Chain A
Amino acid sequence: MNIKDYENGSFLKPLASVKYLFKKPHTLRYPKETKPVPDRYRGLHINDVDKCIGCGNCRDICPCAAITMADPSDIRPIEIDKKGANPVRPKIDYGRCSFCALCVEMCPTGSLKMSKDLIYTSPDADAFVWIPLEEQGREPGFTQSDEITPLMLEAEEMEELEPEVRLKSFEEIVHGFTEEQARKEAMRCLGCGICMQGCPAHMKIPEYIQAIFDGKHDESTKFMLEDNVLPGICGRICTHRCQDDCVYQYRGDPVHIMWLKRFATDQLETYKDVEIAKMPSSGKKVAIIGGGPSGLSAAYHLTTMGHSVTIFEQKQRAGGALATGIPMYRLPIYELDKEIGHIEDMGVEIKLNTQVGKDVQFEDLLRDYDAVYIGVGLSYGRSINLKGEEHPNVVQAIDFLREVKVEGRRDITKHVVVIGGGNVAMDVARTVARLQEIKYGSKDTTVQTASLEDWDIMPASQEEIDGALEEKVIFNPAWGPNQVIFNEDGSIKGLEVKKVKHVFDESGRFNPAFYEDQKKLLEGDYIIESVGQMYNFEFIPKEMLDKLEFTPRRKVMVDEYGETTLPGVFAGGDLVETSKGDAISAIANGHRAAIGIDRYLRDKK
């Protein structure tokens, strides 16, 4: 700057700087003001322990082993019995943490965040280890994002037959994964094992998914067979409670555990080469009444424990509801042959067409065998005392499904009404839709369902409902059956239904009430009742049946190992309280009863 510049200007010119008095300063008035911290600053953690499920994925991803899972109940009580959660929360050692934030990016629930706070001092090194909480009052900084994430949030698409194609036959709808798809889907699994709690059989899900990823399908099947003797069947028709618990439910799609299971078992033609540990023979004999999933499960596990097992099956096929109830488009018959064949290969004797109480006596079984397992299931349709149900064209769902699947029945009328809103009712309606398409080309045909429950509480699974809707099944939710209306010539005109007021009363018990003035006629000349099943214990002699105790919900009373109040008699499957009405819980309590029978036989000298 030259001195001449000043000569040219006014002497008031320095006053120009006065304007800066009123401008916002660029400097910070420390310590009154502090520098703002960037939004995505990675400081000390914050964890919403109520949202956190204790899955441990943060611990597994941590590159410094800074995280352990600890019980937070001393400092902050949490909900212990939360579904799909472990009662532990991450505890972080800040002496080890490298603040990379992988734990935050990995967190399935999004409960773990990092704060803008990095200042903490203590002379005690142990004071740097704590369970992060929200209550510590730190301002959130780095959070996860769904756009940029190391997780693969979207599941692989499963290919299915189009509704027009699948209606024409009973061909299996779901195609199954290809090798590439299965590997991709298996890669998504984080291996936390939260799903194992949801599975009634507590299958080793992370282990078998890892084996699928490694391409070792026989090893994968070996893990499955340890807890579930029918993995290929469960890979098709399971209620997959594991997927409801999968940690991906909070961000993205759950891993398709069921279809991965199906993929791995489909790669093996038989399970002969799968290594299964078998105990030396014990010389004990066990009789199993009923060849359904629970009976097969108990039989298989008892055989591996070294006992010799005989199954007495009333029908011409083993498999129970799997063989006679579930339609072919969900469960092909060859899958049953493969898995039941494997059980027979293990040394289980299956006596078909043998009804206990008629062909063999229950007392003889008790005398000739060291233990008896009852797994007869709910194999009889429950009637609802509908007015006019004695007509031959009013049938039970379980009989109808058996006739179609086992006996090859293909005749059907043009207009059918199905009573019920459960998965069995969906099976019936979709079976009817196929039969009508095959026989009439779906010209001028209807199949409709009437269920007490409205859409929101319908017991059928959403996939089944969607499938039925695609196949043009007409739903009448919240319409309860009243009576069958007949034509003058005695044939059925239709089912009269009335509007449902509520299904459950105020105390939550099943107690349906109706609007008696709102009625309509569902036209149809064939009515299929699908409102539940029941058991039949006629094969048990009266004096023994009196000693058999039942729970308040009319299930057989058993201890934790499946033993009934009759000594040496065990029960499982749908007969007992632990059943949720699906194959996997029957398989699980069959396995548990097998452990119980083994204990009983070893104690009995």
Chain B
Amino acid sequence: MMGIVDKIKEIDGTKVTVQRENRIFVDVEKERVIGTLYSMKLIGFSQLSVLSVIDRIADNQFEIFYVLYNRDEKVNATVRVWIDRDNPVIETAEKIYPSAHAWEREIAEMFGVKVEGNEEAGKPFILENWNDLPPMRKDFDSIKYSSEHFVFRHSEDKNE
């Protein structure tokens, strides 16, 4: 366990937090994400389990996180990076982890994050004809949207 933590600490520009056994957080700067992911893959984190975003609206930032898994050591490591919420651009990780392709399409659609290098990110994914704010952003008003787009069928008169 400690061996793998030391190996991660050797990667340039990483801040490592050991939350509990088998659960490590790795905070990096935006410029170092791809390099860090590449190094992580080299030391045995062969699988990208999840790639998603937390909307840190109070700080006006997006937290992008990559949950990686090391099958030999049975360790989960999460690489976290904070980017500007007004200009959310990241570089694609699909060259390192091919499964990132679909995750990146999802975050592009749900949060409006621009993914450079992933040609399909930004194309319609699961939402059909979406023309509003990306729906997983915290400033998206779901009640207003659903009131505008869907009919209220709660009228009591119809039952009578």
Contacts and interface: CB of A to CB of B under 8 A. Distances in A.
Interface of A: 62-66, 68, 70, 91, 93, 95-96, 98, 125-126, 128-129
A67 to B, nearest CB: 9
Interface string B140-160: 001100110011111010100
Contact of A95 (B142, B153, B156): B153
Given A62-B143, A96-B152, 12 more contacts: A63-B142, A64-B150, A65-B146, A65-B147, A65-B152, A66-B146, A70-B154, A70-B156, A93-B152, A93-B153, A95-B151, A129-B153
B154 A129 contact: yes
Contacts of B154: 68, 70, 91, 93, 129
The 3 closest A-B pairs by CB, nearest first: A63-B142, A64-B146, A68-B154
Contacts of B143: 62-65
A269 B84 CA distance: 45
B34 to A, nearest CB: 33
B158 A96 contact: no
A131 to B, nearest CB: 11
20 contacts: A62-B143, A63-B142, A63-B143, A64-B142, A64-B143, A66-B146, A70-B154, A70-B156, A93-B154, A95-B151, A95-B153, A96-B146, A96-B150, A96-B152, A125-B151, A125-B153, A126-B153, A126-B158, A128-B153, A129-B154
Tell me whether chain B's interface is mostly helix, strand or loop, or mixed. Answer: loop
Contacts of B147: 65
Interface of B: 142-143, 146-147, 150-154, 156, 158
A95 B147 CA distance: 12
A65 B142 CA distance: 9
Contacts of B151: 95, 125
A128 B153 CA distance: 9
A95 B158 contact: no
A129 B113 CA distance: 36
A403 to B, nearest CB: 57
Nearest to A93: B153
A125 B156 CA distance: 14
A70 B156 CA distance: 9
Contacts of B156: 70
A98 B150 CA distance: 12
Interface centre among A70, A93, A96 (most CB of B within 10 A): A96
Contacts, number: 34
Contacts of A70: 154, 156
Nearest to A74: B159
B154 to A, nearest CB: 5
A126 B146 CA distance: 17
Nearest to B158: A126
Contacts of B158: 126
Interface centre among A98, A125, A129 (most CB of B within 10 A): A129
Contacts of A126: 153, 158
Nearest to B146: A64
A95 B153 CA distance: 8
A435 B142 CA distance: 62
A588 B114 CA distance: 60
Nearest to B140: A63
A216 B86 CA distance: 32
Contacts of A93: 152-154
A98 B143 CA distance: 11
A70 B151 CA distance: 18
A263 B2 CA distance: 49
Contacts of A65: 143, 146-147, 152
Contacts of A129: 153-154
Interface centre among B142, B146, B150, B158 (most CB of A within 10 A): B146
A126 B160 CA distance: 13
A93 B147 CA distance: 13
A505 B154 CA distance: 52
Contacts of A62: 143
A98 B151 CA distance: 14
A66 B158 CA distance: 17
B156 to A, nearest CB: 8
A159 B123 CA distance: 57
Contacts of B150: 64, 95-96
B150 to A, nearest CB: 5
Contacts of B152: 65, 93, 96
B55 to A, nearest CB: 14
A477 B152 CA distance: 60
Contacts of B146: 63-66, 96
A62 B154 CA distance: 15
B113 to A, nearest CB: 21
A68 B143 CA distance: 13
A128 B151 CA distance: 12
A263 to B, nearest CB: 25
Contacts of B153: 93, 95, 125-126, 128-129
A75 to B, nearest CB: 10
A92 to B, nearest CB: 9
Contacts of A95: 150-151, 153
A218 to B, nearest CB: 27
Contacts of A68: 154
B133 to A, nearest CB: 14
Nearest to B156: A70
Contacts of A66: 146
A603 B63 CA distance: 67
A64 B153 CA distance: 13
A68 B152 CA distance: 10
A232 B46 CA distance: 63
A95 B149 CA distance: 11
B152 to A, nearest CB: 7
A68 B150 CA distance: 15
Nearest to A91: B154
Interface centre among B143, B150, B153 (most CB of A within 10 A): B153
A148 to B, nearest CB: 16
A62 B147 CA distance: 12
B148 to A, nearest CB: 11
A61 to B, nearest CB: 11
Interface centre among A62, A64, A91 (most CB of B within 10 A): A64
A68 B151 CA distance: 14
